[in-house]
Amino acid sequence: MSNWEKARWSVGEVSALTRVSVRTLHHYDALGLLCPAGRTESGYRQYTPPDLARLWRILAYRELGLGLPQIAELLAGGPDAEHAILTAQAAALQAQLARTQQQLDALTRLMQGGDMQHDHITTLFDGFNPAEYEAETQQRWGETDAYRQSQERTRRYGKAEWAQIKAEGDALNAEAAALLDRGLAPESAEAQALAAAHRDYFSRWFYDPTPELMAGLAELWLADERFTRNLDRHRPGLAAFLSAVVGHWAREQMGRS
């Protein structure tokens, strides 16, 4: 057996080598996705070269945007299962690339001085046009301070502000999808920090939401299939996860008041 085959690494050493946090490595172990082959006499994890090779595959699939359940299926299945999943992922990435190009084209037109027209807004927000909800929104919340505040703010926004709103919203959804993939509970510290970030997002761009308003939004994301569908395009199950995360945050805040 060569020195390489005899090599062993602690979880801390693997973390330093791969820049994967110790917590994530522990999570992979708990899921059965990456269980180190060895243990010291004291019970500490010891990773072998095949373990590192498996980790590199996991990280490569994560770069492709695959979720942990899909990666587990890939690693457990044979070549045919792997080819089927990768083919489906390639098709999804092709569709995503086409949508991204459309959004980039719309944003480029705006940066070149184009007006913020209906089709530009729809493309920029990946098919979701806030204007379509205007009449319904006014009927539900037209008499509230939040609605009036939002109207006053957004009527002043131009192309740069809407592009920034889109970018920040996408970043929040991407972070939520990452937490969902990690299997974190809605009441976890990371998820609750994300809920607070959502509140700050609405406060910064639209209105100053009370916990009661945030609770209402959390319910709306599931009660209205249009909102559910829009969120789930980022990651299946994202609407339910975000609703639980923000709903828990709002209840905690209301309980403190």
Per the listing, tokens 């919203």 go with: 169
Distance CA 103, CA 110 (A): 11
pLDDT in tens, 176-205: 988 888 888 999 998 999 999 999 998 998
Distance CA 82, CA 91 (A): 14
Residue 89 pLDDT greater than 80, yes or no:
no
Listed as own residue / partner, the contacts of 194-199 with beta carbons closer than 8 Å and 24 or more positions apart are: 194/245, 195/245, 195/246, 195/248, 195/249, 195/250, 196/249, 197/172, 198/172, 198/242, 198/246, 199/246, 199/249
Return the pLDDT at 95.
67
Q: In this structure, are residues 204 and 244 in contact, taking their beta carbons and an 8 Å threshold?
A: no
pLDDT in tens, 228-256: 888 888 888 999 999 999 999 999 998 86
Residue 116 pLDDT greater than 50, yes or no:
no
Return the pLDDT at 12.
93
Task: State pTM to two decimals.
Answer: 0.51
* Domain residue spans of the chain: 3-76, 88-256
What distance, in Å, lies between the first and last C-alpha atoms of the chain? 65
CATH class for the region spanning 3-76: mainly alpha
Q: What's the pLDDT band for 108 if we cut at 50, 70, 90?
A: low
CATH ID of 88-256, from 1.10.490.50, 1.20.1090.10, 3.30.420.40, 3.30.1490.20: 1.10.490.50
Q: Which residue has the higher pLDDT, 150 or 128?
A: 150
Return the pLDDT at 83.
76
Distance CA 52, CA 156 (A): 53
